[in-house]
Structure 1
Amino acid sequence: MTPQLTDNYMVTIAERLKSAYARIAIATKKYHRNEHDVCLLAVSKTKPADFILAAYQQGHREFGESYVQEAVDKITQLANYSDIVWHFIGPIQSNKTAAVAENFDWVQSVDREKIAKRLNDQRPINKAPLKVLIQVNISLEDSKSGCHPDDLAALAQFVNDSPNLVLRGLMAIPAKTDDPQQQIQYFEQLRACFDRLKAQYPHIDTLSMGMSGDVEAAIAAGSTMVRIGTDIFGQRS
């Protein structure tokens, strides 16, 4: 375990977490959404296990990680906190799929059949099926991970047919912009993909979109999960 946090820093995380929840509550009220329909995923990548524990002590349970070995180390350190729900949200390399399949509850960044197949084949039989979000490259950026929207239907069918995976919805990281209307436009495109997919798979329920800079736009467009890191844990070191 990393050195213990000072009391002041634990208070800071508690205050920031409270502020993040309040931000969601304000946005959901503004856009006539139920605040309980939007989950806050605390993105803890690059932060030590003690930071996660500080948020846990405030009642938070959902945490997102992007770097496999760093995440596995923290999951191991916090193994006694069995009600933590771990989400993998980063790009997935083929040689890392076993560690992801063995340690996480959710994977939000499945973008191709090869990765889905490896996760399915490597999921331990003593664990519940892995909850999967398909990452969509909604702004069609060459530098971004995610499947092309045209490939979404085939990938969703593959995930849905995989016995050790459960298709739960979609995730995206759109092109960065400070223009709220452009933010909403990207999110509405993903929402349209989600709605079409839900017509075929009525059980899907998760639309993971929105981060610290665009939470309000994401909630306006129908996000059910927002991913917030810096506003809770501070700048990355």
Structure 2
Amino acid sequence: MSTIADNLSSVSARITAATAAAGRDAASVNLLAVSKTKPAQAVREAHAAGQRHFGENYLQEALAKQAELGDLDLTWHFIGPIQSNKTRPIAEHFDWVHSVDRLKIAERLAEQRPAGKPPLNICLQVNISGEASKAGCAPADLPALAKAVAALPGLRLRGLMAIPQPSTDVAEQNAVFAQVNALRDSLDLDLDTLSMGMSDDLEAAIAQGATWVRIGTALFGARDYSKPEPSA
């Protein structure tokens, strides 16, 4: 049975191969280990193998892990839907937020970011596939949202995040990721981040400019769907 360290090595090799195929520097793509629903011990094992950035969807679960793993040098990314009443602990305990999709949430994060901390890195989530079941700003609404968020104190707008509709067709994967890249470039802001690509489509995402790939299953194994998801 493969270990988390083995899996991390395999994913890193995929990233290296994908960047080479795209004519990109391997250092231009960062691996975000999606540790949602996984125990703190799994994060500790990934850290021991060299991983430093971890993504969480569920706030209470994430805060418990952060408390348990306070002895490690970890960078925490919030990547799940954000409720208004959860913004303060997110602003206080995370370094990145990939899932901002409306101005109200960004304003609350800006207001609640502790003064002694560096600006909170923000990605705007765009609903690139137009799925009713998914969070995210509509592409047409993105320019106004980006301009407003970029002006907020306590935040640093870095770029866009997207979770396209799943597809096994590589051409379709490339096309939708290319749309996200084009959206970022159309905003006429100094943005350096595209958070897109997961275990099944990271190669296409990297081909189209991803700077963060969010990998869970390929690192930690499939989630146990017999267990209920924790509350956000």
- Structure 2 runs not aligned, ≥5 long: 225-232
Superposition deviation, residue 68 in structure 1: 0.5
Number of residue pairs the alignment of both structures matches: 224
CA deviations 1:60-104 (Å, max 9, x no partner) are: 1010000000001101111122x3110000000111111111110
- Which residue is equivalent to 2:133? 143
- Which residue is equivalent to 1:172? 162
1:235 aligned partner, one-letter code: A
CA distance in 1: counterparts of 2:71 and 2:163, whole angstroms: 32
CA deviations 1:157-184 (Å, max 9, x no partner) are: 1211111110001000011111111111
Is residue 2:127 matched to residue 1:127? no
- TM-score, normalised to structure 1's length? 0.92
CA distance in 2: counterparts of 1:155 and 1:75, whole angstroms: 30
CA distance in 1: counterparts of 2:144 and 2:89, whole angstroms: 25
- Which residue is equivalent to 2:229? none
Superposition deviation, residue 194 in structure 1: 1.1
Sequence identity of aligned pairs in percent? 56
- Which residue is equivalent to 1:3? none
Superposition deviation, residue 58 in structure 1: 1.2
- Which residue is equivalent to 1:16? 7
CA deviations 1:113-165 (Å, max 9, x no partner) are: 01101111111112111100000001111111100111111111121111111
Is residue 2:226 matched to residue 1:226? no
- Structure 1 runs not aligned, ≥5 long: 1-7
- Which residue is equivalent to 2:64? 73
Moved over 2 A (4+): none
Q: 2:179 aligns with which of 189, 201, 219?
A: 189
Is residue 2:75 matched to residue 1:85? yes
2:104 aligned partner, one-letter code: K
CA distance in 1: counterparts of 2:156 and 2:171, whole angstroms: 33
CA distance in 2: counterparts of 1:206 and 1:85, whole angstroms: 16
SS of aligned partner of 2:3: helix
- Which residue is equivalent to 2:23? 32
- TM-score, normalised to structure 2's length? 0.94
Q: 2:38 aligns with which of 24, 47, 57?
A: 47
SS of aligned partner of 1:170: strand
CA distance in 2: counterparts of 1:79 and 1:194, whole angstroms: 35
CA distance in 2: counterparts of 1:213 and 1:80, whole angstroms: 32
2:165 aligned partner, one-letter code: A
Superposition deviation, residue 30 in structure 1: 1.3
- Which residue is equivalent to 2:48? 57
Alignment root-mean-square deviation, CA: 1.1
CA distance in 2: counterparts of 1:48 and 1:125, whole angstroms: 31
Superposition deviation, residue 111 in structure 1: 0.1
